[in-house]
Structure 1
Amino acid sequence: MRVLHIHWAARPVTGGVEAHLDAVVRQLGTLPCDVETVSGTRESLGAAYDAALDLEVPAAASDITALVGRCARADIVHWHNPQWHKPSVTSAVVDALQGRGWRGRFVFDLHNIDEQPDQWELLARLPGRMVAHSPFVAEETRRRLGGREVTVLPLTLAEAEGEYSLPCRDRTVVLQPTRMTRWKGSHLSLEAALVLLEEGADLHFVHAGTRHLVWPPGISEELLERARGWQEKGRIHFVHYTPEQSWAAISQSDIVVHPTIDRGTHGEPYSLSVAQAVICGRHVIASDSGHLPRMLSRYSAGRLVRAGQLEDLTDALREAVRKPLVGQGPHDLSLSRELREGFATAGAAHLRFYRSSSAA
């Protein structure tokens, strides 16, 4: 079986889709199938560059023809977020393959969903099986697409754990382990940390994911200027590490924050970093966004706050800094094992799904 994974970006671009894509393809590479990845990221070592997918340049007709040729050689074309960025490329490739009578199967993978009507119109036209990675996204997609079948497949991360040391360990460490961007609530966590530092709280605030961003973070210069004094004092840190190093970074933190600002179809679709924090037994403060309430409903050290509400986040963080985390209970350990097992077997779950798609 020949499987082609397509996404607009690949590592070293910072993001959950890119981290999952790299890891699941590595797992599939150890199984009985031929797997290849293409993306629009020129400097990627894990994916072949395809000009039609490049977000910085328009796709020429020759670029689309080349991508169609790549797809035609595959039995399964697994397209991640086909509705985002260059939907005209998605439509052109799908139409061309159908026009030439391609006998393979499409898998359309919805990592992130949005309110834009044109995205849902495109998804409704796409011929193939749809997958998501959380019940939240799957249910919203079924609702939007008139009950269309959507299969939930597990996400994964790099199994190898790289060495990494946070630049601070002498005080309570508050870590936001997401890419630095407004929709992940980076401005909220930074401002909440500043409020507590100005109150005299004994903490370090660390924000990861500060490099290899597709778009600028969107954090106001005023807020960054307010943070610079605390950076000079060694209490605020902007860092970057690889997915392999993320396990070490999260394990060295005391409190993990994930204050995604959006709700509804803009909500956090899963959150690999929160799942890691649960596996590592960290105190977690997250917004009541998307899949996060479901994941944390079974976790005793999880606290939900209203999405986009700075005051709620600040209050929860203040309380968490003052109240050290106690050990994990049986339900926490059970959830941790379940999440880790899902990560470890994601490749096998994908291969079973591909085989069922080919047999259909």
Structure 2
Amino acid sequence: MKIAHINWIALPTSGGDAVHIDALVAELRRLGATTEVLAGTRSAADARYVEALALASPPRDEQRALNELVAAAEGFDVVQIHNPQFHRPAMIKRLVDRLLDQPRPPKVIHNMHAMSDDEEGWDVLRHRGLPIIAHSSYIADEVRRRIPRAEVHELFLSLTLTRREYAFPPGSGALILQPTRLSKWKGSAISLQAVLDLLDAGREDFTFYHAGSEQLIWPTGLDEALLARAAPWQRRGRIHFIHYSVEQSWDAIQQADFVLHPTSDSGSHGEPFSLTTAQAIMLGKPVIATDSGNLPILLGGYGPKQIIPTKNVDALRDAIALWLDRGVPAPTEADRALGESLRQRFLRSARDHISLYERLQGSRAPEGPQRTS
């Protein structure tokens, strides 16, 4: 089977979709599939650059760029378009039409990694009634609400379980880690304000580390005044902006006393899944997260957590102080069982994707239950 993945970015450009695709492609190849990623990242480690998908600037000649993208996708059995709802919707519709109108069309699948209220994006997802992959019930349920007749398939994300060592910059006290991309939407402004309040009040029994500081495309959206307020504490080694690879993320989270995931939006703009929170659960690490999107669902059966309101600096500051004062809760056997269940689902992800591809092509009957509508 030959599968093409079309996405706007690829590693090393950071993003959960790029992390998922990289791991999925590696495992699909190990299972014998022929797979290629077509993306708009020139420096990608394992993707073919296609101008039509470049986010930094629109193609100089969109028709020529579209022709090149269609040509690159020819000969594949399955073409999986990731996050078609976010960028250049008219071009994506034309791409779908061109692919489906070929003499031997591939099976084209949309893959939603996040949501938007932009109706033009939802219109792309409705176009020609293609099947849609969603990676959480939070997204799948919203798709079913907005597109009642949609064929929705819930499949778990892929994530490399390969680990490499990571060494934190020197710090002291409790190691608090925010393992998300440094950005306003991920709640970075909220967490910075919360830890700065604690540090300014004389509390220095912790060091705060924020990952994902190397932005290749998206600006952080953080206010310059907030960064200026953080600068003295950076010089004193109490706040660090860091960056590590996906493989190193396991070791980084393992070393943390607890992790923060304060995504600052809700509704259809909430956290779509959170790979790093899943990693924290698998590693038995306490988590402070906002009630955003899939986060409370993912953490629903997990003991060592605090769920706080979104965009609430006081609530996050108090939650951090509580664990600094009382110590962090230890995971139970039930928590470890939940972590193992997540690990097994990551291990099955590529096989579940292949099973879906084969079912959509009508090559054989489904294996096991699949939530589909």
Partner letter of residue 183 of structure 2?
T
- Residue 253 of structure 1: which of 246, 252, 256 is its match? 256
1:215 alignment partner in structure 2: 218
- Residue 93 of structure 1: which of 92, 95, 106 is its match? 95
- SS class of match (1:184): coil
Displacement, 1:75?
0.5
Displacement, 1:147?
4.1
Displacement, 1:49?
0.5
1:298 aligned to 2:301?
yes
Alignment of 1:1-360 (within 5 A): 1-59=1-59, 60=61, 61-168=63-170, 170-201=172-203, 202-359=205-362
Displacement, 1:126?
4.0
Unmatched 5+ stretches in structure 2: 364-373
> In 2, are the aligned partners of 1:64 and 1:93 still within 8 Å (CA)?
yes
> In 1, are the aligned partners of 2:171 and 2:237 still within 8 Å (CA)?
no
Partner letter of residue 98 of structure 1?
L
> In 2, are the aligned partners of 1:208 and 1:241 still within 8 Å (CA)?
yes
Q: What is the rounded CA distance, in whole Å, between the counterparts of 2:72 and 2:352 in structure 1?
A: 24
> In 2, are the aligned partners of 1:12 and 1:212 still within 8 Å (CA)?
no
Displacement, 1:149?
2.4
Q: What is the rounded CA distance, in whole Å, between the counterparts of 2:316 and 2:128 in structure 1?
A: 40
TM-score (norm 1): 0.97
TM-score (norm 2): 0.94
- Comparing 100-109 with 275-284, greater Cα deviation is found at 100-109
The number of aligned residues is 360
- SS class of match (2:355): helix
> In 2, are the aligned partners of 1:138 and 1:150 still within 8 Å (CA)?
yes
Q: What is the rounded CA distance, in whole Å, between the counterparts of 2:135 and 2:70 in structure 1?
A: 27
Q: What is the rounded CA distance, in whole Å, between the counterparts of 2:103 and 2:148 in structure 1?
A: 27
> In 2, are the aligned partners of 1:168 and 1:204 still within 8 Å (CA)?
no
Partner letter of residue 12 of structure 1?
P
> In 1, are the aligned partners of 2:129 and 2:150 still within 8 Å (CA)?
no
Partner letter of residue 98 of structure 2?
A
Unmatched 5+ stretches in structure 1: none
Q: Deviation string for 1:146-193 (max 9, x for gaps)?
A: 242211111122221111111145310111101111110000001101
> In 2, are the aligned partners of 1:15 and 1:178 still within 8 Å (CA)?
no
Displacement, 1:230?
0.5
Q: What is the rounded CA distance, in whole Å, between the counterparts of 1:186 and 1:326 in structure 2?
A: 24
- SS class of match (1:78): strand
Displacement, 1:248?
0.5
